[in-house]
Structure 1
Amino acid sequence: MMVTDLIFKLFNQLKNTQMKNVNLNIYKALILIVGVLFFVSCSENEGLVQTRLFRPVLSKELSSVDNTIIVNMGKMKEAIAYKVEISRDTFKTIVRTFEGPENNVIFSGLVWNALYQVRATAYAADAQYDSKISDLGEIKTQRFPSIMAIPASSDVIDTGAKVHWTTAGAAVTGVKVFAFADELLQTPLASYTVSDAERLAGEKIIYGLTPGTKYQIAIYSNAEARGWEVYATKPPLVLGSNDIDLRGINDPAILSTTLTTAVDGSTILLDGNNTYNINSTYSFNKSLKIKSGYSFNPAGATLNLVANFNLVANSTVASIVFEGLTLTSTDVAASSKYVFNVAQNGNIGEIAFNNCKINNFRGIARFQASTGTIGKYTINNSIVNNIGGYGVFNIDVATWTAGDVLLKNSTIYRTNVFLASKSTTATKSVSIEDCTLNDFVAKTRAIFAWTNEVTNGITIKNTIMGRGWDTTAGGTDYAIAGYSGLATSNFIVVNSYSTADFKYVTGAKTIPNFPSFTYAKKVEDLWKDIPNGDFSFKDSGFGGLKDSGDPRWRL
């Protein structure tokens, strides 16, 4: 049967009375099919009809060599030419275009270490039959073979940058600063000569930059570029009328004096290159923020606590915040010194440690006498190390009450006690989020040691727990307890890991639903240099490389 005969037969059937029972949409669909068949029938004796070219496809995967991208497409017999385009913003703008008969195309002289998208069109002799655009994927150019170091956070302040490099090969003679958008390094904003001493050290500090601005900074051996990196200066430090700027004053005792004279709500800005001694107990009766100013010292300003902080009796303090500091003591045995050792009645809205390093204390925050409330206790983006028997947080008396306890984006290792409360009043909440913990509670002790309950539960999220801490020289007893007390408290565990040497004491309470996943190897297999506090991942096969543990160590 000819196609035309089939069309008319089908059409006649559609007109039969039985179609009255067919849904209108089905009827319309059948009419459409009839139309298509009719169109085909008109061409059945007229030969083949020319159609649009197929979209180009790759004969090899996209590749890059240095700052060149190579596009190898399959040769199309019907195509007379090709158009290949590259972009860096998914074709909102076109960076480069090639048009010609070649199906293998090379784009050279591109930006180093940059991601490009690639697309192509095949041209027919008659433009109406050109192919549709084919997205061929994306490819990144190689990183320039640089001797320059990738800048760390501490290599940038608001108005300056520390540039450093390896001293191999030709001597570095100059440093140039370019606008961030000047990716091909064509128009320097400033140029600096490298001295013999700087050349020997492989380091130069430059000033005169604008706060809150991105730059391309490059090093040169005479006219030859040896490397460049993007530097983003920090935002300007804005001080209020009651804030106190101690930068540029090299006096270890000046902070102690300033604490007594500062008004409620002040920020005390310290020199990031200096050490400040707290030689006698300071008791808070006002809200203060103690913050390190920008410096090229990665540790920030250092507070050497010879004596601890306390609270003035019957005081109400909204917040006490430490930011960008190193808090330490000479108590390497972690047996006698504290950051806070509170022994007075009072109320504290919040104690917070943001971006701090805390080490060599018997306890960080101990509430050990009288009656009071600590509304919120936060350790965020910090590293805690070598803490003794009163731990990271400790309500060491029945009559103090804790609200929310939050440890976030932090690394905590070598601590005898982790979190504890003897309060007879329930804590509001405890959250451990995005943390790396190892040797973080002494063998046989409980991770969460509570007398009462935690009303809103204990949350463990995106966290890695390694082994317990055997403080005996050469000891290998790492077994610990999950918790004590907390008879009715809820545990919420999300995307959290333990290592193979995380072990519970026989008969101890175990944390419900922890871990989410078990890493099958030991801590030494997972992390690079545990004794020196480097918890970068050693094992590239670990499942939590990108979303678990302290973010500073993630890939």
Structure 2
Amino acid sequence: MKKISVILAITSCIYISCKKKDDTAPSRLFRPVIAGELTADSNTVVASWQKIAGAAAYALELSRDTFRTTDLSLSLDTNAAVVKKLLFNQLYQVRVKAIAADTLLNSKWSDLGAVKTLSSILKVPGIDDITYNSVRVRWTTKGAAVTSIKIVKAADNALVSTVALTAGDLVNEFKVAEGLEASTRYIIFLYSGNEERGYADFTTKAPFSGTIVDLTAITGRPGVLADTLPLIPSGSTVLLKRGETYNISSTVSLNKSLVIMSAPDLSNTTQAKIFFTSNFNFEAGTVIDSLEFNDIYLLGDNYGGRYVFNNSNSATVGKIKFVNSRAEIFRGMVRLQSGTTNVNDFIIDNCIIDSIGNYFILNIGASSRINHISITNSTIYKVEGVIASAQGSAAVLISDCTFSEAPLGNSKNYYVDYNANEVANGITVSNCIFGIGKDSKGAITVKDVRAGAGTVIGASNNYRTSDHLSAGNDFPNITTYTRPALQLWQAPGIGDFKIADNAYPGRNSTGDPRWR
């Protein structure tokens, strides 16, 4: 028994000695714990965590998919990190581990949490910010002042230009960069010092085709447009200087295809003005493929007898277009009064038209015809009528338009009046808002549409204000809203048709899109 006791005692000593030796072996480092911050500013993430005793370094990783993949890995000798040039408006997960001198003793990963970078202060260029050779770079002032813009070609990242920003640029919150190539994709980078504040892709517009007649260098000569039009070839694009006025002081008879437009100038948004103390006509017997007014302010000198077109000759015209333009103070915009004039397409798009008298926006005489009429994305107010035709048409489309103080409130005038003439493929009216009629000695009651019995009138998603008074001939299925024009719109009397009523159910889907 004594021998057995001695053996047990020796064994116990050996076990205790071995256990004590195991307890003093180096152990894995503790996981880091967040301390201080995990924040984002612009596209920069700032993180800090507690120091870990025995840590020789730290490993930091960022992911956007909970570490199924890793966006960025950093090795650090401090317990804080400032990670720059990340993606904007992105949620990142962040984790860290302590690195020991013996990497077998590294800590396990510690999740510090998730943080979302902010949206870029650089605004993505819209269609109106881009020309064929320039771009308007816009931003929102926030944080550090922006100092410069860099533009590179997207295809190869070749530097195109670096533009320093002035104090005036910072107040305006935009800068125009020029000297670009047409139909080319670029990337804008915005900087505060060396810090990137945003980036955006854009593609310049296609170059002008055909003959370009650039009148922008000629100023102080209001008659230069009228003098030039007879001299240039058909198919020309005439560029007018923004902010300049061009007079039509005697009848100009057109016999060629033309585009007349304000020249691209992102530093000046004021449209070139054509001032009418006379009007355009078509030359007798002419054949024209297309006539377009683009980004032009058309202004008459009186309501009594002024028109953009007052045609008295026979002509054949493919298209008459008014695009991105404004027209006001005319007896009528386009009047085909006599002669046999045939037009295939009449188009008004993205225009503001106001103060038109008793020959309406479009007046078609008995010997003329327009096949297809399209009025879209436009604001029409203070007009006595929109379309009047003494001949039939193939189709009429009115879509996404705002109407107010139209037509004349005498219970006789219509928005669309074909009398007994047929529109073969129908009249379609959709996504429009109709306000009150134009005051006529206190009367504001109006009618909507009149056409031959065989004309199909299709209408959908149209509203009229509670003070729109109908004398019959309504557009089908039109919804009368519960509030008047002055409560629906911001200031309709002065042409501000921004939707002011958040309860209006068509606020995001009806009327001229510029006001939604």
Fold in common (TM above 0.5) = yes
Q: Which of 81, 89, 92 does residue 114 from structure 1 map onto?
A: 89
Partner of residue 386, structure 1 = 355
How much has 1:169 moved relative to structure 2? 9.3
1:483 to 449, 465, 468: 449
Question: Partner letter of residue 224 of structure 2?
Answer: I
3-state secondary structure, aligned to 1:255: helix
Corresponding residue to 2:177 among 201, 206, 211 = 206
- Contact 1:244–1:267, Cα closer than 8 Å, also in 2: yes
Secondary structure in 2 aligned to 1:235?
coil
Question: How many residues of Structure 1 are paired with residues of Structure 2 in the alignment?
Answer: 429
Displacement, 1:64? 9.7
2:238 pairs with one of 263, 268, 281: 268
- Kindly state the Cα deviation for residue 513 of structure 1 after the two structures are TM-superposed: 2.5
Letter aligned with residue 340 of structure 2: T
Corresponding residue for residue 299 of structure 2: 328
Structure 1 residues 501, 321: CA separation in 2 closer, same or farther (over 3 Å shift)? same
Map Cα deviations across residues 138-172 of structure 1 (whole Å, 9 max, x no partner): x986435x5x88866544433334456789998x5
Distance 1:95 1:260, change over 3 A: farther
Distance in 1 (alpha carbons) for counterparts of 2:158 and 2:371: 56
- Aligned AA for 1:522? P
Determine if contact 1:299/1:325 at 8 Å carries over to the other structure.
no
Change in CA separation of 1:406 and 1:116 when aligned onto 2, cut-off 3 Å:
farther
The structure with more radius of gyration: 2
TM-score by length of 2: 0.71
Deviations 1:394-447 (A, max 9, x none): 11x3222221111012222221111111x2x32221110222222231213212
Q: Classify 1:374/1:142 alpha carbon distance in 2 versus 1 (closer, same or farther; 3 Å).
A: same
Taking structure 1 as reference, are residues 539 and 114 closer, same or farther at Cα in structure 2, changes over 3 Å only? farther
Q: Does 1:404 align with 2:404?
A: no
3-state SS of paired residue (1:446)? strand
Q: Distance in 2 between matches of 1:94 and 1:277?
A: 66
- Residue 527 in structure 1 maps to residue 489 in structure 2: yes
Structure 1: state its 5+ residue gaps. 1-62, 70-82, 99-106, 119-138
Question: Whole-Å Cα distance in 1 between the matches of residues 199 and 440 of structure 2?
Answer: 43
For the 8 Å contact 1:364–1:392, the answer to whether it is kept is: yes
* Superposed counterparts of 1:263-342, under 5 Å: 263-296=233-266, 297-331=268-302, 334-342=303-311
Q: How far 1:197 sits from its partner (Å)?
A: 5.3
Q: What is the CA–CA distance in structure 2 between the aligned matches of 1:312 and 1:448, rounded to whole Å?
A: 28
Identity %: 29
Partners of 2:212 and 2:117 lie apart in 1 by: 48
**CA offsets, 1:305-349, max 9 Å, x none?**
222111112323222112222222333xx3332101111222222
Provide the residue aligned with 2:423 in structure 1. 454
Secondary structure of the residue aligned to 1:348 is strand
Cα distance change on mapping 1:489 and 1:181 into 2, 3 Å: same
Structure 2 counterpart SS, 1:391: coil
Q: Which runs of 5+ in 2 are unaligned?
A: 1-38, 46-60, 74-81, 94-114
Output the CA distance in 2 between the equivalents of 1:112 and 1:497.
Answer: 44
Contact in 2 for aligned 1:176/1:188 (Cα 8 Å)? no
Read off the aligned partner of 1:267 and give its amino acid letter. Answer: T
Letter in 2 for 1:318: D
- Bigger drift between 340-349 and 522-531 goes to 522-531
1:174 aligned residue (113, 131, 147): 147
State the SS of the aligned residue for 1:480: strand
Q: CA deviation at 1:236?
A: 4.1
Q: How does 1:221-260 map to 2 (within 5 A)?
A: 230=200, 232=202, 234-240=204-210, 242-250=211-219, 251-260=221-230
Identify if the C-alpha distance between structure 1 residues 254 and 205 changes in structure 2 by more than 3 Å, giving closer, same or farther: same
Query: Which of the pair is proportionally richer in strand?
Result: 2
